[in-house]
Amino acid sequence: MRHEQYRELVNTYGAHPARWPEDMRVDALTYAYKNPEQAAKTNAGDTILDKALDAGALPKTDNDLLMARILQAAKETPQQTALPIESPANDHPTQFLADDIKAPYVLKWKTLAATLLITMGIGFGWGQSMTDNSDYLDAETLLAFNNDTDSTALTWSDDNSGTNQ
């Protein structure tokens, strides 16, 4: 370990080796052992800061009353329950063929098919309603269609007559 790494470690975690990350502890202690003066100089400020912080630690207090209060509150509080397997939230494609949940899926397919049919019906009805208000267009389209049919019939008739001849 280089001096800069050691200094960074101490500046981050403090001077007490117990707070250093486990994977760096051996290297850092080896550095401190080999370079005692530099390590002591680096540690000095952070040792003081650590001691200052120690003064702010919460003293060990008696928590019996608090524990009793929390236990009493827990007795008056119901626990949340886990979702049963029948819940829709647990539907999954891999469960599709399982006997005990086949029925709800069949019902779902029926619902889907019915929805599809209704949608198609509404779609056609809507399409029809678009042409209901355009009589002129309808008539023109019909006429054009009839003309086409007539001309085709004529051509066919001509060809036919030619062939027959």
Q: Which is nearer to other proteins, 61 or 129 (CB)?
A: 61
Instruction: Please state the closest distance from residue 13 (CB atom) to other proteins, in A.
Output: 7
CB of 79 to other proteins, least distance (A): 5
Report d(CA 43, CA 122) in Å as an integer.
81
- Shortest spacing between CB 138 and other proteins, in angstroms: 59
Sign of CA dihedral 88, 92, 98, 103: positive
Compute the distance between CA of residue 71 and CA of residue 109 in angstroms, rounded to an integer.
49
Q: Which is nearer to other proteins, 62 or 132 (CB)?
A: 62
Q: Is 32 helix (H, G, I), strand (E, B) or coil?
A: helix
CB of 109 to other proteins, least distance (A): 25
Q: Provide the token pair at 108.
A: 């779902």
Cβ distance 63 to 71 under 8 Å? no
Nearest to residue 14, comparing CAs of 58, 54, 57? Answer: 54
Contact positions vs other proteins (CB under 8 A): 7-8, 11-14, 18-19, 21-22, 41-46, 48-53, 55-58, 60-61, 63, 66-67, 69-71, 73-75, 77-85, 87, 89-90
Comparison of 66 and 142: residue with beta carbon closer to other proteins: 66
